[in-house]
Structure 1
Amino acid sequence: MQEEIAIDPEYLKSRLRELLAIPSPTGFTDEAVRYIARELERLGLEIVLTRRGAIRARRAGGVARPARAIVSHVDTLGAQVKCLKDNGRLELVSIGHWSARFAEGARVSIFSGKGIYRGTILPIKASGHTFNDEVDSQPTGWSHAELRVDALARNRHDLGQLGIDVGDIVAVDPQPEFLDNGFIVSRHLDDKAGVAVMLAALEAMTRAKIETPVDTYWLFTIGEEVGVGASAVLVPEIASLVAIDNGTTAPGQNSQEFGVTLAMADQTGPFDYHLSKKLYDLCGQHGITVQKDVFRYYRSDAASAVEAGHDVRTALLTFGVDASHGYERIHLHALISLARLTIHYVASDVQIERDAEDVSGLRGFTHQRTRTAQRSLTLNEPDTP
């Protein structure tokens, strides 16, 4: 494989822009799934969909096992109608974990039984001319916000006549901006930017006819924001799973908006020692900017896969996001870096051949460099990474 991988930035930005234009809060992902599936087929991959729409795409390699998988999630944050209020407005509950502070002022679409309505999420006390300083002193939270529907809705009855009902999905406008200096500002970059990275990597591999030593699976999940994630999309051939998602560029964190941020642990614990080391070493070998971080209040598709009982090695690659789960900002440099690393990873040689089997003996099992392991090496035990 050639040393320099040419990721097409215009293709990556175009796919991201088109994905952002498709509303896909958790539970409302069908159209985004259709878009991604069609693009995967255009790129020549074999695809299957689970019953609810998670995508598993296979790109054939030299052998079937130990297969590698890359995963990102299609679903985004959003809201649902909790209650039709007497004042003709809507009480909301969040889809996924995000603050109502970031919802205030957002333009939205309400998907009702009779059609799509537009509206705005507002604090209950929204007018300074009426409430004066109470506009600033009122609490923040979903119980202190409401959705104003842009239709004749003076009361609960009017809302019912519009076909709006409890449980209707509310999608928040992304409001994306792609700046000439490489910065991208939008809601829902988590994780539509990760999806775009995977598509850009596949496009580059297809264009360059890059072969891989083992089959690779490209997974797109539909419930990560509510904790379901990659619980039901893996197959037994997959031995390692690399998630692509957002990192957090914030005080106390080591994530950056440039290069790759390799997560070493999240709230569920450390990621796989050997897989994480391999990814870090590949960055050094191929001149990819990389930094490590640990996330205390974070979980990803990788966690849901392990918790569902899949015995796979996991790692998490991230693009640094400022104001995650809010009005987010990233940089194109990080997305291209991630796409390059993804290709180098799936094209790299398999180091732990034992991973081809679900279970096997001690022979070929990995080492970690403790004193005990060092002593074992001197006794001529098989050495693996």
Structure 2
Amino acid sequence: MTTEQLDLIKQLVSIPSPSGHTKKVIQFVEQYFNELGVSTQHNRKGGLIATLKGVNDEEQRMLTAHVDTLGAMVKEIKPNGRLKLDLIGGFRYNAIEGEYCQIETATGAVITGTILMHQTSVHVYKDAGSAERNQANMEVRIDAKVHNETEVRALGIEVGDFVSFDPRVEATANGFIKSRHLDDKASVAILMTVVKRLIAEKITLPYTTHFLISNNEEIGYGGNSNITPETVEYLAVDMGAMGDGQSTDEYSVSICVKDASGPYHYELRKHLVNLAEQNNIDYQLDIYPFYGSDASAAIRSGHDIIHGLIGPGIDSSHAYERTHMESLVKTGELVYHYLLSKLINY
């Protein structure tokens, strides 16, 4: 992982972008591509498509990674001046207990707070440890002198305001990077730096290739549109999920063979494995049982494409995540060699 890639990850995770509110981070990525001279366009959903023209324009590829993250919205302003949340994305309340957050009002004002159990104080609540972490019990303590709903509304806070979580990003001396939202901003940084490498090396790709920076993946439909009729292969670059029974680790690239949507394209999977072996890239094959990607969303929406999924191995998905530079480097290498390879036979 280059210093630039690490810096990009730090910058990306530090830009609040829960699904539904991703304009600022899309602008950041767009500026990066435009400074490289890469052509970009927006889709109506707010995503970004960067395109590199290839030798063959009649058969094309699309790669995708998503900048939208988990987050929340203000569900209710409680009589005690605290906020009830409604979650954005598939995670559990226990994953954000004690986390710092920020609330952005409709006017753009930002107010900080902390996500806590209502029954946090062990000196007051007998069930502080046993009470269920759920919407009824979790609340945001606002960093403002407020005592009731009226005072909160006077700050500009309303139902529907977006709530973002502090990423707490940190890189260790031995190569780990810890942060919220590595899913999937680590992969976005990988695509950005791979494109920069291709341009620096003055490489013309064998096929015109689109890089979709999607912005609704966490809610299921980020990458299911704007796929050109010429697109043959569609590769999602997203996190590899770790846990009991999983092969994925933090030091290699994960190649997904199946997730909750079903198997990924067998021939493309074999092609990715061959590329990894030919280029001495450590990889793991894995199945993600409770997972869906932009590639599976594209298939579900009816596109006639060959779909695949790879990504860096990330521990503690949808919580305070961690990966290692080795996994990021190896994922980038596989993406790079895939882009230079021929389409599979279909």
Q: Between Structure 1 and Structure 2, how many residues are aligned?
A: 345
What TM-score do the two structures reach when normalised by structure 2?
0.97
SS of the equivalent of 1:136 reads coil
Could you tell me which of 169, 180, 190 is aligned with 1:187? 180
Matched, 1:343 2:336: yes
The one-letter code sitting in structure 2 at the alignment partner of 1:212 is: L
The one-letter code sitting in structure 2 at the alignment partner of 1:119 is: G
Could you tell me which of 76, 101, 119 is aligned with 1:83? 76
Q: Give the aligned partner of residue 119 of structure 1.
A: 113
Q: Deviations over 1:112-157 (max 9, x none)?
A: 13521000000011112222x4211111222220001111220111
Matched, 1:146 2:139: yes
The one-letter code sitting in structure 2 at the alignment partner of 1:130 is: V
Could you tell me which of 195, 203, 215 is aligned with 1:202? 195
Matched, 1:17 2:10: yes
> Once the 2 structures are TM-superposed, how far is the Cα of residue 262 of structure 1 from its aligned partner?
0.3
Specify every segment of 5 or more residues in structure 2 that has no aligned partner in the other structure, as ranges: none
SS of the equivalent of 1:231 reads coil
Matched, 1:220 2:220: no
Q: How far apart, CA to CA, are the structure 2 residues paired with 1:351 and 1:78?
A: 38
Q: Give the aligned partner of residue 61 of structure 1.
A: 54
Identity %: 35
Q: Give the aligned partner of residue 162 of structure 1.
A: 155
Contact 1:261/1:317, CA 8 A, preserved across alignment: yes
Q: For the pair shown, which has the larger CA radius of gyration, 1 or 2?
A: 1
Q: How far apart, CA to CA, are the structure 2 residues paired with 1:318 and 1:111?
A: 31
Contact 1:54/1:233, CA 8 A, preserved across alignment: no
> Once the 2 structures are TM-superposed, how far is the Cα of residue 199 of structure 1 from its aligned partner?
0.8
Contact 2:267/2:344, CA 8 A, preserved across alignment: no
Q: Give the aligned partner of residue 278 of structure 1.
A: 271
Q: How far apart, CA to CA, are the structure 1 residues paired with 2:230 and 2:197?
A: 25
Q: Give the aligned partner of residue 35 of structure 2.
A: 42
Q: How far apart, CA to CA, are the structure 1 residues paired with 2:34 and 2:174?
A: 32
Q: How far apart, CA to CA, are the structure 1 residues paired with 2:45 and 2:56?
A: 29
Q: How far apart, CA to CA, are the structure 1 residues paired with 2:216 and 2:344?
A: 32
Q: How far apart, CA to CA, are the structure 2 residues paired with 1:112 and 1:201?
A: 36
SS of the equivalent of 2:18 reads coil
Could you tell me which of 134, 137, 150 is aligned with 2:127? 134
SS of the equivalent of 1:253 reads coil
Moved more, 140-149 or 182-191: 140-149
What TM-score do the two structures reach when normalised by structure 1?
0.88
Could you tell me which of 278, 283, 296 is aligned with 1:290? 283
Contact 1:20/1:174, CA 8 A, preserved across alignment: yes
Q: Deviations over 1:48-104 (max 9, x none)?
A: 101232111110110112111110001000000011101110000101011100111
Contact 2:259/2:291, CA 8 A, preserved across alignment: yes
1:323-362 equivalences in 2 (<5 Å): 323-352=316-345
Runs of 4+ that moved beyond 6 A: none
Matched, 1:257 2:250: yes
Q: How far apart, CA to CA, are the structure 2 residues paired with 1:184 and 1:147?
A: 27
Q: How far apart, CA to CA, are the structure 2 residues paired with 1:240 and 1:27?
A: 27
SS of the equivalent of 1:67 reads strand
The one-letter code sitting in structure 2 at the alignment partner of 1:240 is: E
1:300-315 equivalences in 2 (<5 Å): 300-315=293-308
The one-letter code sitting in structure 2 at the alignment partner of 1:120 is: T
SS of the equivalent of 2:10 reads helix
The CA RMSD measured in Å over matched residues stands at: 1.1
> Once the 2 structures are TM-superposed, how far is the Cα of residue 251 of structure 1 from its aligned partner?
0.8
> Once the 2 structures are TM-superposed, how far is the Cα of residue 44 of structure 1 from its aligned partner?
2.2
Matched, 1:29 2:22: yes
